[in-house]
Amino acid sequence: MQPDSMDLRATHNGELTRELARFVADTQWRDVPVAVRSEAKRSLVNYFAVALAGCHDPTLDKAVSVYSRFSANDDATVIGRSERSDMLNAAALNAMSANVYDFDDTHIPTIIHPTAPVAAALFALAESHALSGEALLLAFVLGVEVECRIGNAVSPEHYRRGWHITSTCGVFGAAAAVAKALSLGERETVWALGNASAQAGGLVETLGTMSKSISVGNAARNGLLSALLANDGFSGPDAPLEGERGFVRVATPNPHWSALTQDLGREWALLKNTYKPYPCGVVLNPVIDACLDLRRDARWSFDDIEQIELAGHPLLRERTDRPGVRTGRESQVSAQHAVAVALSRGKAGLEEFSDAAVADPSLRALARRLRFIDDAAWPVESAQVTIVLRSGERPSHRVQAARGSLDAPLANVELADKLHRLAAYGRSGVETEPLVERLWKFENEPDAAAVVRITSARGPH
């Protein structure tokens, strides 16, 4: 018996992969609910925000320098930069840019960052293969659906075993999305997923380093390549997901087979997508909310603080107990730094998670006073911060649902503001108002590529 009682035969002979592929091939824009269409556009607004923020990060500078040596042509835009690249390399670079600050969207409960691999692949394709905004949105919705369903099938053990789930599942999402954009049939879409299965990779060990961006970029690039190969008759296995040595069985000891196909067309992954107000690991969002609230009502000085207690689900400690971080990138997954900087500065933007902030000796001193309190009964999306003062007072604040969570989502105006702010931070000089206006009406755009071309920087950085 399988863990979720699926028909044993369906988990060996390719029926599940074929059903997913058929759904991708057959679904039309009219089949997508209005709420899902809206969420797709919100995801793209957030995508361009974070890609424009990261476009001149040192990670991107180095990657652009190396990748450009192997670029086949200059058909595709590199978001926020004056350089152009070929389709495959542009897909990789734009996915890297959108994920480099960990400020991109997060699917609940898989913790996949779904948009970067899928959108980067589609926009790169759109500059060489005519797509309308509606066609790109449909392909995007379906790519995210496939990506997150595979993520649900392998969660939570997959991530716990050390696989970077955005990268490993993102390659399937990109492949499915591009297969739809190319109007591939069921058989060719199965091949695209099979080609993607041969290229799924990425390790949690790389988080906090430049290396993480390689696998996120590869998810977009290799997913795009997988579908392009399938379009030319490059075949793959019949059961790349559920085969005896297929992705799902290899990726987790306890597959959730029903997650792959149950309620297809009735439940949509994008309706469980969330957008971060802060550039850090999503489990730190309630922590920062609590710290900012405590800071606003402060009647104490930092010299008065003896200890800071952080109570939450054990996953909070598992993901973020990182004292003594050395770089801004490491600080994005450090509770010690997040607590110290939010309490000290009263804000938590990209500058608060920079190399300069990490080097601040006063923040390092405050970070050393943090103590975790684990409680498995706490929901993952909640946290409580208590400041223990030398006087014996214990001001405390608990957050049940952080800003940006499913229970407290960012409004459209907040996402647009995020795009404006992050684009300014990224120093690309791109005008964001026309970009935002076109994204909110993207389904009416006759040429999807026109939107990404807006994001090309003019002249040298």
Q: Do domains 8-275+418-453 and 282-399 have the same CATH topology?
A: no
**Given this model, what pLDDT does residue 9 score?**
53
Map tokens 């899928």 to a residue.
118
The class of domain 8-275+418-453 in CATH terms is: mainly alpha
Phi-psi region at 52: left, alpha or beta (left = phi > 0; alpha = psi -120 to 50): alpha
* Residue stretches of the chain with pLDDT short of 50: 1-2, 461
pTM higher than 0.75 for the full model?
yes
**Given this model, what pLDDT does residue 4 score?**
63
What is the rounded CA–CA span in Å between residue 307 and residue 305? 6
Structural domain boundaries in the chain: 8-275+418-453, 282-399
Task: Report the topology of domain 282-399.
Answer: 60s Ribosomal Protein L30; Chain: A; (3.30.1330)
Q: Is the peptide bond before 277 cis (omega within 30 degrees of 0)?
A: no
**Given this model, what pLDDT does residue 393 score?**
94
**Given this model, what pLDDT does residue 117 score?**
98
The residue count for the chain = 461
- pLDDT tens digits along 113-147: 999 999 999 999 999 999 999 999 999 999 999 99
DSSP H helices, 198-306, are 211-231, 247-251, 258-261, 285-296
What is the rounded CA–CA span in Å between residue 111 and residue 156? 10
